[in-house]
Amino acid sequence: MKFWETERRALALLLGVSALILLLGLGGRELWGAETRWANIALQMLQSGNYFDPYLKGSAYYDKPLPSYWLITATAWLMGGLNHWSLRLSSVIAGWFSIWLVYLIGARLFSKGTGLIAGWMLATTFFFIFWARVATADMLTVCGVLAAYWWYWRGPDDTRLGRYSVFFLLLALTSLFKGLIGFILPGLLLLPHLLSEGRWKRHLNLRMCLALLIAALVYMVPFILSHLYGSPTYRESGLDLVFRENVVRFFHPFDNLGPIYTYILYLPIYTLPWAPCWILGLWVAVRNWRQIEPNTRWLIMGLGLLFLFFTASGSRRSYYVLPLVPFAQLLAAWWVTRRLAEQRAAGKVSGPGWKRGFAAAAGVLLLVIGVAYPWTNGGGGVMKFTADVREEATKSAPWNQWRMVLIDVDNKLPMYLQNQGAPFYYVDPSQGFPREGDSAAFMAWLDKSSGQHWDPAHTIILAQYQKADKLPLSYLAKDHRVIITKPNNGARLFHSRDTGSVAFIPDEHGSRDISAKTLLNVDSKVDIPPQEAISE
């Protein structure tokens, strides 16, 4: 009983520290990379009330199955709106469960001590934590694969219908987040065990076929709902997406054309700082292949099959390696456990060294996400820009009374501009909006192209802008207040040239002269008409 309570306290400490690492400063980093797509698609679902047709900046964009967007919209509804927390929480929860599942798998395959070491390694792996705090479908996929793998190992010889049903439902749900790899990856991982001693034969039965059929029907539900309740004019098909993303991309890739050695390079990088442990573990296991435990051999063979599958695909990107990371850390934990046992057998003390290592790694992660991230995102950027836009706009009218026209804007922008008012109107750069002229001409074009009337006094126009470029729609500066994105601390430190934005807010007095007080964040390098130049 004392041992069990010690193990429970150790697990509680692992899960508590993991939650702190995953949650600390989650709202302090602005949208990054691919998560801008999830934010924009979820926002348009919330604004339009159409949850079956995904749109990105006003255009049809059925890039991923619907459930990953539904998780975000449901969280946004529960938390009172779409923000950093509601956007990323499903990914964070998946990351937290993944750490727990790695512990459970390690305890099932080896021992509770090995499971704890594997959990700590995963919880202090930088890129795992990084992606667990990013709103994409990748961490949901990792969690689903681990859940299916763990469920199988709870009863690998169990042939009851309930056992099969839960397993295949886990595969179906995982496949609804990112693609059919939710079925493929667990199958590859478990294939060595199923082939050994002819285990696959006992699982070829009608109960398994029935469970597979039930899972296939569940998998089809979102696509059927999209077909029945989506817009009849929507131009993309979810099932076409599945074929294109999972079959065509594998054999005839159309993007993400990484070199064949991509994962040889990135698997060690994505498992830092513990990469040396699994590499050493692999070396020890290969040298002692016949003597090591069968579970270790099956783990290594499954990991090898995953590696070969991802390498065989013509479409390769660094973060595609994420599903391999937990299993590499399980191998690393196996090696550490073996090493500690050898030291104890030799009479050597092997106590607090690894604990200090895990504590140091956790401390570094907390400093990065709790101090460095918030600082680099301060002093400017999209969050400061939208705060300035809102401050200026509310001087003239309540924020929810403003309508917004977004012309080829930075993907980060829409989530920060939401005002619970009318949906945004997106203008593609290929549309023939007036590049020169005056505000009246632009508003006339807007009325005609959108088929609706826009009140010039309550319409904010936003466009993409970089500091060294010519100010787009500069003629609007004659009777609008102008706000331009400032670089944040990170951009200043690394001298990066991120895409920014410019906002044109109607001048409440209708003045043609823009004073220094009403022109925010604009310096002397901005190219605007001479009569609107800022006095220093």
Backbone angles phi, psi at 459, to 5 degrees: -125, 120
Does residue 321 contact residue 310 with C-beta atoms inside 8 Å?
Answer: yes
Element (H, E) at 341: helix 325-345
Cα 462 → chain centroid: 26
DSSP strand pairing (459-465 vs 500-506): antiparallel
Question: Residue 179 contacts by C-beta under 8 Å, 6 or more apart in sequence?
Answer: 64, 65, 242, 245, 246
Which pLDDT score, from 0 to 100, does residue 2 have?
A: 54
CA triple 308-309-310, angle to 5 deg: 95
Distance CA 521, CA 510 (A): 21
Distance CA 158, CA 148 (A): 14
Q: 107-124: per-residue pLDDT in tens?
A: 999 999 999 999 999 999
Residue found by looking up tokens 């936003």 in the block: 462
| Lookup: tokens for 324 | 């391999």
What pLDDT shows up at residue 508?
A: 67
- Please provide the distance, in angstroms rounded to a whole number, between the alpha carbons at the two ends of the chain: 75
| Residue 455, token pair as written in the block | 């009140």
Two tokens at 416? 């920060």
Q: Over 221-261, what HEC string results?
A: HHHHHHHHHCCCCCCCCHHHHHHHHHHHHHHCCCCCECCCC
Which residue matches tokens 């090898």? 304
Q: What span, in angstroms and rounded, lies between the C-alpha atoms of 503 and 405?
A: 10
pTM of the entire predicted model: 0.89
CA angle 513, 518, 520 (to 5 degrees): 125
Cα–Cα distance for residue pair 251/258, rounded to 1 Å: 14
What secondary structure letter does DSSP report for 369?
A: I
Give residue 11's pLDDT.
93
Q: Are 38 and 69 in contact (CB under 8 A)?
A: yes
Closest CA to 126 of 331, 333, 322, 280: 322
Give CA–CA dist 300/191, Å, rounded: 12
- pLDDT profile of the chain (536 residues), mean per 10: 69 95 91 90 91 87 89 94 94 97 96 95 96 94 97 93 96 92 93 90 92 95 88 76 71 70 92 95 94 93 94 85 96 93 75 81 91 86 91 91 90 89 86 87 91 92 84 89 89 76 81 37 41 31
Find out whether 167 and 210 touch, Cβ atoms under 8 Å. Answer: no
List the one residue out of 37, 88, 83, 134 whose CA is nearest residue 418. Answer: 83
- Cα within 13 Å of Cα(20), Cβ side: 15
Residues contacting 111, CB < 8 A, separation 6+:
337
Report which of 415, 425, 426 is spatially closest to residue 73, judged by C-alpha positions.
415
Burial state string for 406-442 with b = 16 or more CB within 10 A and e = fewer than 16: bbebbbbbbbbbbbeeebbbbbeeeeebbeeeebeeb
pLDDT given at position 236: 72
Structure tokens at 440: 């009246």
Express each pLDDT in 162-176 by its tens digit. Answer: 999 999 999 999 999
In angstroms, the Cα distances linking 261 to 258, 312, 314, 328 are: 8, 11, 11, 18
